[in-house]
Amino acid sequence: KAPVSKGLLLVPSALSLLLALLLPHCQRFFVYDLQAVKDDFQIWRLICGRIICLDLKDTFCSSLLIYNFRIFERRYGSRKFASFLLGSWVLSAVGDFILVEAVRYSFGITAARNLPSGFLAPVFALFVPFYCSIPRVQVAHILGPLSITNKTLIYILGLQLFTSGSYIWIVAISGLISGLCYNSKMLQVHEVLCVPSWMAKFCSWTLEPIFSSSEPTSEARIGMGATVDIQRQQRMELLDRQLMLSQFAQVRRQRQQQGGMINWNRLFPPLRQRRNVNYQDGRQSEQQASPPLEVSEEQVARLMEMGFSRGDALEALRASNNDLNVATNFLLQH
């Protein structure tokens, strides 16, 4: 359910391939040339030059980042997500002019004719809500103190895009500044630069059936290379998680009807940990895992940064056996 992200993946990428392979003589119309805009009043370059990437490497990196950032469209809705892209796109154009003039006056370098083309500034602007609202979950350790998190690969991909051209840092900085201004609601730009409701309804009626897709299946596929015992273990863990989420939903409905704080630890048994006893007959034994005595304040802070109350964060972490992913998924879905 992310039609805007899907449209940004398909349409600009297809046009970039078309220009690179079949119509290379038409690429001059999509060059992001601010000098031509300033001297010859070619305003149309502000639109054409800031939508289609002429470099296929930039197209590939920006497409991967848009695919990852589709989580914001699913969380906030297509209209709010499109408003963020529109606002950052407009604000970054002003930022490009300011930075180009600052570079020219400070260092005597004319970078107005060498800025990279494409939908790059809004992609860099999306790193602001990605840094502020997505919790950081540690995955592994490398070389001692260095750790790999669920956000490391995205930052590496953004760094690759940041270093792909000579003056792409101008577009990146203007995009980050515009994303910061829009995300912090500075000067009420989120109310001025937004998609009108009538346009959102029209696009939902005309374009959403084309770019929308069906809901994903509730049960994820298990890798074909896994053994039978690993498949059973993964399937039981998946059933445990689905059962706990359904119990969360039931308690939340009771809480809304009755009011007050409910002690979830008294209502739900802790997550079960299974281990195989006999690999031949496939029988498994269950043992109860005691809930943690203390909840990590760092995890509570991460949930509170996403907008949840401290009470909900504490209860969700305790009921999920201090599993940040499970607690976050439930609180986001309810």
Q: Which amino acid is at 61?
A: C
Q: What is the pTM of this model?
A: 0.64
Q: For residues 205 and 167, what is the distance between their CA atoms, to the nearest angstrom? A: 39
Token pair belonging to 163: 């270093």
Give the pLDDT band of residue 117 (cuts 50, 70, 90). Answer: very high
Domains of the chain: 3-134+148-212 (1.20.1540), 295-333 (1.10.8.10)
Q: For residues 268 and 265, what is the distance between their CA atoms, to the nearest angstrom? A: 6
Token pair belonging to 67: 């695919």
276, β-bridge pairs: 284
pLDDT score, position 333: 64
Burial zone of 45 (CB within 10 Å; 0-12 exposed, 13-18 middle, 19+ buried):
buried
pLDDT score, position 17: 92
pLDDT score, position 324: 78
What backbone torsions phi and psi does residue 273 show, to the nearest 5 degrees? -115, 125
pLDDT score, position 114: 83
Distances (CA, A) of 165 to 26, 54, 96, 108, 157: 21, 12, 15, 19, 14
pLDDT score, position 212: 67
> Given a cut of 60, is residue 271 above it in pLDDT?
no
**62 CB-near residues (< 8 Å, 6+ apart):** 53, 118, 119, 120, 123, 161
- Dihedral over Cα of 99, 101, 102, 103: its sign: positive
- Lowest mean per-residue pLDDT among 195-209, 225-239, 280-294: 280-294
- Which tens digits make up the pLDDT trace of 217-237? 554 454 444 455 566 666 666
Higher local confidence (pLDDT), 110 or 213: 110
C-alpha angle 217-133-177 in degrees, rounded to nearest 5: 125
Neighbours of 41 (CB within 10 A): 9
- Which tens digits make up the pLDDT trace of 147-195? 788 888 899 999 999 998 889 999 999 999 999 999 888 878 888 888 8
